[in-house]
Amino acid sequence: MASQVSNLREHGKQRVAAWSLAAAVGLLAFKLVVGLHANSLGILAEAAHSALDLFASALTWISLRIAARPADANHPFGHGKFESFSALLEAGLLVATALTIGDAALRRWMAGAGGAMRLDGWAFAVMITSMAVDAVRARYLRRASSAYGSDALAADALNYSSDIATSAAVLLGLTLVAVGRQWRLAWLLHADAAAALVVAAAMVWLALRLGRRMAGVLLDEAPPGLSRDLRQALHGVEGIAAVERLRVRRMGSRYFVDLQLALEPPSTLERAGGVRQEVANRILRRLPEADVVVEAHPAAPERLGPIERVQAVALRNNQNIHDLSIYQLGQALDVEFHLELRESMPLAEAHDLVSRLEAEIRRDVPGVREIVTHIEPEAAVGPAALVDAGDVARQVEGLARSVPDLLDCHDIQVRRSSGHLALSCHCSFSDALPVNEVHERVSRLEAEIRRALPQLFRITIHPEPTSDNRR
């Protein structure tokens, strides 16, 4: 689908360029015939300008066909820069033509040949027609260049916009020459040569403006403000600690965006993938046809404590740990935690995995002396069924009454999954009871339940304050 859209865009650009080429042929012929008939340097300068327009339109048409070629081994980013190269070549031709016209205009000025001109309705008609055609062309090309993002069409639009001003200057020159003849004002007979100089000056100005823009594209200069806009578009993406690198280059009508992100720790591979996708989507909303490459890595952990660093290592390896404890013995640290692994994993494979995880923890957490890892099967994810928990609930409620500060035990559920029984319940405590004391009471209740009900594979107890009304 994307390739079909791209092909339609390329055909659209080529169609616009072909239409512009046909208009340039007609104007060149009209100006050349009338310029020779009237012996007007201004009209002949415009004819030369139109000849250059014809060449530029042909060059645009050719460059768009080349730029539409797909990427290959020698051009991995495609051929889009040929558009910019052709526009830069057009700027050079503008300068060369302007210098030629300027030289001829100065010679005629010095020779005072304005009186040899033949002024009639055709001289004025050709310039009025030229202005009308250029106005339509410039507007059409400007819209097309914006719609297709084409440097070559933008160059043509800028060229034809300036043609309107130069044609107006030539028309004014012809009018002043006619007035000079009528009122015998010799100094007005130089107006035709002056109009040619105006055309030459406008062409130089246009060439400099176009050349500066295309040189920036060829030298991979990012469009002004685009990097800032893209950075602003990434504000609010959850999980990004910093945008460390953002590079933008343009190839014809297509942009290539390269980003490197530092992610807030801890970040799993899945979370990093989600962040990269969200970043790419936001870039594509701003630049629909961009090629976006996003790299992501965890932010430097200089400010993290040992607990956060151990958790970051586990998450980075997509491992689930709990009951993490770290004991400081002088300058050394002893680490203990429970690691959940697939219940069918062979012990040798599990031990190798634990060894790799512990080695990475030692590398990322300075001062670790010993690591003790308790391996246990991970919670089953699959079909489960609720079991009649009447007897179990009564036993659990009786055990809960023996635990100090435990006010009530409710929502007791027993599930059977993959042949295992799992119990979950909620226990209420005073709002002011410290977390460490709550944990002690919960651990005591769990131990009592395991002694009374050894058939239970997993026990999950959720403590909550008495003020909680979300049940």
**What is the distance between the alpha carbons of residues 367 and 365, in angstroms, rounded to a whole number?**
7
Q: Could you tell me the two tokens for 133?
A: 């055609």
Count of all residues that appear for the chain in the document:
471
**What is the distance between the alpha carbons of residues 81 and 79, in angstroms, rounded to a whole number?**
6
- pLDDT tens for 326-341 read 988 888 999 999 998 8
**CA 29, 31, 34, 38 torsion-angle sign:** negative
- pLDDT tens for 268-319 read 667 778 888 999 999 998 888 788 989 887 776 555 678 888 888 888 788 8
- pLDDT tens for 155-185 read 667 667 767 767 777 777 778 777 877 776 7
Q: Could you tell me the two tokens for 35?
A: 């310029």
Identify the CA nearest to 226 among candidates 283, 281, 142.
283
Stretch 215-221: mean pLDDT: 64
Provide the terminal-to-terminal Cα distance of the chain, rounded to the nearest Å.
50
Given a cut of 70, is residue 267 above it in pLDDT? no
Q: What CATH number belongs to 306-377?
A: 3.30.70.1350
Q: Spell out a b/e string for 262-298, using b for 16 or more CB atoms within 10 Å of the CB, else e.
A: bbebbbbeebbeebbebbbebbeeebeebbbebebeb
Long-range contacts of residues 316-320, Cβ cutoff 8 Å, at least 24 apart:
316/266, 316/267, 316/268, 316/269, 316/360, 317/356, 317/357, 317/360, 318/268, 318/269, 318/270, 319/353, 319/357, 320/378
If pLDDT is split at 50, 70 and 90, which confidence band does 68 have?
low
Residue 247 has a pLDDT of: 86
More confident residue, 62 or 413: 413
Residue 353 has a pLDDT of: 93
Q: Spell out a b/e string for 353-382, using b for 16 or more CB atoms within 10 Å of the CB, else e.
A: bbeebbeebbebbeebeebebeeeeeebee
Q: Could you tell me the two tokens for 406?
A: 């435990």
DSSP labels for 112-130?
A: TGGGG----HHHHHHHHHH
Stretch 448-460: mean pLDDT: 88
Stretch 18-23: mean pLDDT: 73
CA-CA distances (angstroms) from residue 415 to 192, 216, 340, 409, 457?
98, 67, 20, 17, 10
* DSSP annotation of 187: G
CB 139 within 8 A of CB 2: no
Given a cut of 60, is residue 8 above it in pLDDT? no
Stretch 215-219: mean pLDDT: 64
Radius of gyration for the alpha carbons in the chain, expressed in angstroms and rounded:
39
Q: Could you tell me the two tokens for 101?
A: 């016209």
Residue 1 has a pLDDT of: 40
- pLDDT tens for 25-41 read 887 788 888 888 887 76
- pLDDT tens for 243-265 read 888 888 776 567 888 899 888 76
Given a cut of 60, is residue 86 above it in pLDDT? yes
Given a cut of 90, is residue 400 above it in pLDDT? yes
Least confident of 192-196, 209-213, 378-382: 378-382
- pLDDT tens for 119-166 read 778 878 888 888 888 888 888 878 877 777 666 667 667 667 767 767
CB 60 within 8 A of CB 24: no
* DSSP annotation of 69: S
**What is the distance between the alpha carbons of residues 259 and 275, in angstroms, rounded to a whole number?**
12
Residue 2 has a pLDDT of: 41
Q: What fold characterizes domain 385-465?
A: Alpha-Beta Plaits (3.30.70)
CB 79 within 8 A of CB 121: no
Q: In this prediction, what percent of the chain has a pLDDT beyond 90?
A: 15
**What is the distance between the alpha carbons of residues 310 and 313, in angstroms, rounded to a whole number?**
5
**What is the distance between the alpha carbons of residues 338 and 125, in angstroms, rounded to a whole number?**
91
CATH class for the domain made up of 2-218: mainly alpha
Q: Judging by beta carbons within 10 Å of its beta carbon (0-12, 13-18, 19+), is residue 221 exposed, middle or buried?
A: middle
Given a cut of 80, is residue 82 above it in pLDDT? no
If pLDDT is split at 50, 70 and 90, which confidence band does 115 have?
very low
Torsion-angle region of 323 (φ positive above 0: left; ψ -120 to 50: alpha; else: beta): left
Q: What is the mean pLDDT of the chain?
A: 78
| Residue range(s) of every CATH 1.20.1510.10 domain in the chain | 2-218
CB 338 within 8 A of CB 376: yes
* Ramachandran angles phi, psi of 470, nearest 5°: -95, 5
CB 28 within 8 A of CB 54: yes
Q: Which CATH architecture is the domain 226-298 placed in?
A: 2-Layer Sandwich (3.30)
CA-CA distances (angstroms) from residue 417 to 339, 381, 396?
20, 8, 20
| Residue range(s) of every CATH 3.30.70.1350 domain in the chain | 226-298, 306-377, 385-465
More confident residue, 289 or 460: 460
What are the residues whose beta carbons fall under 8 Å from the beta carbon of 47, sequence distance 6 or more?
28, 31, 32, 35
Within 10 Å of residue 163's Cβ, how many Cβ atoms?
A: 26
Question: pTM of this prediction?
Answer: 0.41
Helices (H), 340-434: 347-364, 390-400
Within 10 Å of residue 29's Cβ, how many Cβ atoms?
A: 13
If pLDDT is split at 50, 70 and 90, which confidence band does 465 have?
very high
